[in-house]
Structure 1
Amino acid sequence: MSDIQTWTLVFVVLTFSIYIFVAYRSRVSTTSGFYVAGGGIPAPANGAAIAADWMSAASFISMAGIIAFAGNGYGGSVYLMGWTGGYVLLALLLAPYLRKFGKYTIPDFVGDRYNETARMVAVVAAIVVSFVYVAGQMAGVGLVFTRFLKVDTTTGVVIGMAIVFFYAVLGGMKGITWTQVTQYSVLIIAYLIPAVAVSAKVTDVPIPQIGFGTILAELDALQTDLGVPEYTAAFGSTNMLNMLLITAALMFGTAGLPHVIVRFYTAKSVRAARYSALWALFFIALLYTTAPSVAAFSKLQIIQDIEGTQLSQVPSWFNTWADVGLITQAPEAPGAVGAPISELPGDTVLSYSDVFVNNDIIVLASPEIGGLPAPIVGLVAAGALAAALSTASGLLLVISSSVANDVYYKKINPQATEARQLLVGRIAMAGAIVIAGYLGINPPGFVAQVVALAFGLAAASFFPILVLGIFWKNCTAMGATAGMLAGLLTTMAYMLWTIDIYGNGEGIFGILETGFGTIGMLINFAVTIIVSQFTPKPSPLMQELVEEIRFPGKTELVAKHAQGKV
């Protein structure tokens, strides 16, 4: 066993043991504890849990790679702008009001604000969004185990499933929350240490956010020499329309993600929910402002290591990732799989344009590329697993609560005891984990691309009916139901239609599937507003309640609603 495998195993075993211990100490026996941690999580801890829930495998593993390669610098910034801006939108526009409304889940809010038909549509949308999103997380788990512990993807995903099953089923939201606080600590340390070390080594500036600015001119010149658009050139990898649509889809999708919104129900009060958002923004910014520097440092080093180098003399990190199929010969067509590097003769002189580097390896490979010691490599692997598992557990809880609370308790058996509800929730969680594992073994794309599709679906289904449900008291149940269906189905149909196997990869007007969620959202808004003009208005009591949740001083009607008295 190599030093990297040994240190990875040490950090994985150590961190997984901590997660299990924390989950055991946080086990619950009530539905309130299972769904929203009893609403008693302090703001700083809740902020760290939100950040861990938020910064998924896509943020930790893929984002720097997308900025470096898929987006060629400028184009990849859509993820930074969309995800960060969307969180600000969520914190200011939705979270405090949904917290005041006082329900466990988005379908719960939709059911009370509109009607039971809308609730069922919201349940389906929440499950679809969550499963698409969780596929990316479990794929990230498989990637880490494949590379660092030399086990196959299936085995790696099964190990991840087992860990999530233990702490999610045992502790519900309370166990997940405190585990995520621990996971955030692991992932942020794992992300910052190699970034700081590489920045200091390359630029003599130990602050990556400042240091990477000194190499951009060199990277621009290097890419120009290779016939590639400058790293900092605008629209080098995409056009303005897709930049706008993808950024908007990520932004509005963020504000409609069920597993992020439910986090604000775990705060002690509306005031605590606002402070949780502030803490989360701080914790998120630590990683998001570092990602561009990791992208720039890694791409510069990769080009220098590959261009004009004989295959027999490439650095060891190159062969390590080529052996697991994540560095290949450049494919003949976009989306195709390139031939293995091993098929080339040893005396082949490599050219950067002839090599394909998978987006998902940049962060995981950055310690090796930067020449850092094996313990740092192992720590980064543990951080990647923490990022993937923390988000996966939050998504699986959304699926579990949608089935147990919104379908079983609200529709099938309203007389169910708390013990029965918990049992159904845990069974639903177990079933969701099995499906998530299958999707992780057979993902529909690279990690961040799958996640981007989930954000598009969330934007097209949830964001309009949440905003209108809070800020427009005359938004009707039939309008919301029709809008959700129109937005979700249109977006799903476009995403499936543009998959390359159907020959429609160019899409309509060149709109990428990752940006079509914005169009679906606009369709949702239009249908909801139009249908609401011609259908029965909400009851006067509901209209009064909608008015009250927007005013801090008004709580009487909200309190009665929370107790089920109105």
Structure 2
Amino acid sequence: MGKLDIIIIILYFTLIAGVGIYGARRATNSEEYMVAGRNLNFFMYLGCLAAVILGGASTMGTAKLGYEFGLSGIWMVVAIGTGVVCLGIFLSKKISRFKVLTISEMLEKRYNKETRLVSAIVAAIYTLMLTVVQMIGIGSLLNVWLGWNLPLCIIIGGGIVFLYTTLGGMWSVTMTDIVQFIVMTVGVFFLMLPLSLSKAGGLGTLNTDLPPAFFNLANIGGDRIFQYFILFTLGLMVGQDIWQRLFTARTPKISKYGTVSAGIYACIYAIALAVIGMCAFILLPNIGDTQNVFAEMAMVTLPPGILGIVLASVASAVMSTASGTIIACSTLISNDVVKRFFKPDINDKQFMLISRLTTVGIGIFSIICAIWIQDILVALDVAYAVLSGALFFPVIFGLFTKKVNARAAFYSIILSAAVILAGLGIQGITATDPIIYGLAVSFVSIVLLSFIPSKKAKGEASVRVG
């Protein structure tokens, strides 16, 4: 990297920090801090949601899959986009009826406080693991680009995200996400994609020089495509980091159409990244680590200055997801655990203080974990599996029917989580079967326990008859 590119990246990080700190002026109460006052217009909402669903894994991971499998590499992000589209079409209207801050708070309104607690724990673990992954991602990017010490890069990159998220909450996250959404769009669609195609010789060259299998959408394998949809489509539909964005929309109409638009954008984004990976297969046929496909292509195809902008767009993808997961994890812990079970009578000012202190704790903890743990993708896969398998049916039944009782929802989460963890331990963390078993256990336990009365219910019925 040249000095100009380094200066651009440093200026970009400075800009993001400044925008985030400025956004802190809007966070005057708990609703402003956690859900941006429920007042985002369509463009702000779209940019905010698109930025959080398309993180570093989506960007660099899809380029890698495009390099290895061609167009079939789109399926991971298409599964994410499909989950977001389904969320917008089928759930957003029902979700908007609940004036809540978290998915767990909604589950208490529908079931009971025990269900709220156990679902909050599951969701908080997932968002915490995702935060640590993003912290590692930010540090790794700076380490490769700037050549600085990795722990220092994690502290600097993660510290910027942690700083503005702590100060301004969702308002800072929203304002920085809009900047990051614009930089991502320009960097990928208007710079990296056309320049990669030009360097590779155009679409005609791709058609003639690439293996025929690269144009087969099933090349990656049907079992892997199925796993993506089970993990990411179902997981995105019940993820706190995504739901918290829904709560920021000004109207249910904005929530619905903005969510659908973000999902469609994700699918188009996937195609662009897969094509970039296919161009890399022609230009860089002997890459040692395919995880570096996007960065290597940027180095080869982009002139100084433009390179800095495109690399900043990758940083944008990682930072936007990190800030979203930090605020999501903080909200779950402060709202669904601390306030609900330990400090139920606190006023709004005290709640804001607790929320900020919780965000500080999560930020520091995630940075420490990122420094000491170099690869937690295994833990992330497990968290996603438990999130999808344990919470999907309790949430869906809770939104669409009143026949499911609290006891059924509570034990469904406990039993399905146990089955998934046991299955992953036996078959391995890449196995799909445990997720299927967990979903089946969740569904069956909800149905059976909803229609089999408990001893307490039988006793009450006997008293009424007597």
In the superposition, the TM-score normalised over structure 1's length comes to 0.75
Is the Cα–Cα contact under 8 Å of residues 235 and 392 in structure 2 kept in the other structure? yes
Equivalence for 2:194: 196
* 1:492 to partner: Cα distance: 3.0
Is the Cα–Cα contact under 8 Å of residues 52 and 184 in structure 1 kept in the other structure? yes
Is the Cα–Cα contact under 8 Å of residues 51 and 284 in structure 1 kept in the other structure? yes
Q: Describe the superposition over 1:403-436 as per-residue Cα deviations: whole angstroms up to 9, x where unpaired.
A: 1111121111111111111111111111111222
**Distance of aligned partners of 1:189 and 1:77 in 2 relative to their CA distance in 1, 3 Å threshold:** closer
Equivalence for 1:441: 371
Equivalence for 1:215: 206
Counterparts of 1:215 and 1:469, CA distance in 2? 48
In the superposition, the TM-score normalised over structure 2's length comes to 0.90
Map of 1:377-392 to 2, 5 A cutoff? 377-392=307-322
**Distance of aligned partners of 1:391 and 1:114 in 2 relative to their CA distance in 1, 3 Å threshold:** same
Counterparts of 2:353 and 2:277, CA distance in 1? 45
- SS in structure 2 opposite 1:51? helix
* 1:199 to partner: Cα distance: 1.2
Residue 197 of structure 2 aligns to which amino acid in structure 1?
A: S
Map of 1:262-411 to 2, 5 A cutoff? 262-303=244-285, 306=286, 356-359=288-291, 361-370=292-301, 372-411=302-341
Counterparts of 2:169 and 2:337, CA distance in 1? 18
Is the Cα–Cα contact under 8 Å of residues 216 and 231 in structure 1 kept in the other structure? no
- SS in structure 1 opposite 2:344? coil
Is the Cα–Cα contact under 8 Å of residues 71 and 271 in structure 2 kept in the other structure? no
Q: Describe the superposition over 1:329-374 as per-residue Cα deviations: whole angstroms up to 9, x where unpaired.
A: xxxxxxxxxxxxxxxxxxxxxxxxxxx3232x1112212233x213
Counterparts of 1:281 and 1:75, CA distance in 2? 18
Is the Cα–Cα contact under 8 Å of residues 187 and 384 in structure 1 kept in the other structure? yes
Is the Cα–Cα contact under 8 Å of residues 53 and 394 in structure 1 kept in the other structure? yes
Equivalence for 2:96: 99
The count of aligned residue pairs is 453
Q: Is 1:175 aligned with 2:172?
A: yes
Equivalence for 1:548: none
**Distance of aligned partners of 1:186 and 1:519 in 2 relative to their CA distance in 1, 3 Å threshold:** farther
Counterparts of 2:160 and 2:425, CA distance in 1? 32
Residue 456 of structure 1 aligns to which amino acid in structure 2?
A: A
Identity, in percent, stands at 20
Counterparts of 1:29 and 1:496, CA distance in 2? 46
Instruction: Give unpaired runs (5+ residues) of structure 1.
Output: 205-210, 222-229, 307-326, 328-355, 499-504, 540-566
Counterparts of 1:99 and 1:14, CA distance in 2? 38
Is the Cα–Cα contact under 8 Å of residues 456 and 491 in structure 1 kept in the other structure? yes
Counterparts of 1:421 and 1:8, CA distance in 2? 42
Counterparts of 2:180 and 2:283, CA distance in 1? 29
* 1:484 to partner: Cα distance: 1.3
Counterparts of 1:513 and 1:56, CA distance in 2? 24
Is the Cα–Cα contact under 8 Å of residues 30 and 352 in structure 2 kept in the other structure? yes
Residue of 380, 401, 406 corresponding to 1:477: 406
- SS in structure 2 opposite 1:268? coil
Q: Describe the superposition over 1:267-312 as per-residue Cα deviations: whole angstroms up to 9, x where unpaired.
A: 1121221132144235434422211211111122221xx4xxxxxx
Map of 1:179-258 to 2, 5 A cutoff? 179-192=176-189, 193-204=191-202, 211=203, 214-220=205-211, 230-232=213-215, 238=221, 240-258=222-240
- SS in structure 1 opposite 2:250? coil
Counterparts of 2:84 and 2:434, CA distance in 1? 20
Equivalence for 1:160: 157
* 1:11 to partner: Cα distance: 2.2
Is the Cα–Cα contact under 8 Å of residues 36 and 171 in structure 2 kept in the other structure? yes
Is the Cα–Cα contact under 8 Å of residues 155 and 367 in structure 2 kept in the other structure? yes
Map of 1:32-71 to 2, 5 A cutoff? 32-69=31-68
Counterparts of 1:362 and 1:218, CA distance in 2? 18
**Distance of aligned partners of 1:432 and 1:515 in 2 relative to their CA distance in 1, 3 Å threshold:** farther
Q: Is 1:513 aligned with 2:431?
A: yes
Q: Which fold has the larger relative contact order, with Cα–Cα distance below 8 Å and residues 6 or more apart in sequence?
A: 2
**Distance of aligned partners of 1:41 and 1:233 in 2 relative to their CA distance in 1, 3 Å threshold:** closer
Q: Is 1:423 aligned with 2:353?
A: yes
Residue 105 of structure 2 aligns to which amino acid in structure 1?
A: D
**Distance of aligned partners of 1:453 and 1:91 in 2 relative to their CA distance in 1, 3 Å threshold:** farther
Residue 364 of structure 1 aligns to which amino acid in structure 2?
A: A
Residue 494 of structure 1 aligns to which amino acid in structure 2?
A: G
**Distance of aligned partners of 1:484 and 1:127 in 2 relative to their CA distance in 1, 3 Å threshold:** same
Counterparts of 2:201 and 2:436, CA distance in 1? 40
Q: Describe the superposition over 1:371-418 as per-residue Cα deviations: whole angstroms up to 9, x where unpaired.
A: x21322222221121111111111111111111111121111111111
Q: Describe the superposition over 1:3-23 as per-residue Cα deviations: whole angstroms up to 9, x where unpaired.
A: x15234322222222222222
Equivalence for 1:492: 421
Counterparts of 1:97 and 1:121, CA distance in 2? 22
* 1:46 to partner: Cα distance: 0.6
**Distance of aligned partners of 1:266 and 1:403 in 2 relative to their CA distance in 1, 3 Å threshold:** same
Is the Cα–Cα contact under 8 Å of residues 64 and 292 in structure 1 kept in the other structure? yes
Counterparts of 2:4 and 2:154, CA distance in 1? 20
Is the Cα–Cα contact under 8 Å of residues 81 and 264 in structure 2 kept in the other structure? no
- SS in structure 2 opposite 1:266? coil
* 1:516 to partner: Cα distance: 4.2
* 1:112 to partner: Cα distance: 1.3
Counterparts of 1:526 and 1:217, CA distance in 2? 51
- SS in structure 2 opposite 1:194? helix
- SS in structure 1 opposite 2:214? coil
RMSD: 2.5
Is the Cα–Cα contact under 8 Å of residues 141 and 315 in structure 2 kept in the other structure? yes
Counterparts of 1:112 and 1:260, CA distance in 2? 19
Counterparts of 2:419 and 2:149, CA distance in 1? 37
Q: Is 1:259 aligned with 2:236?
A: no
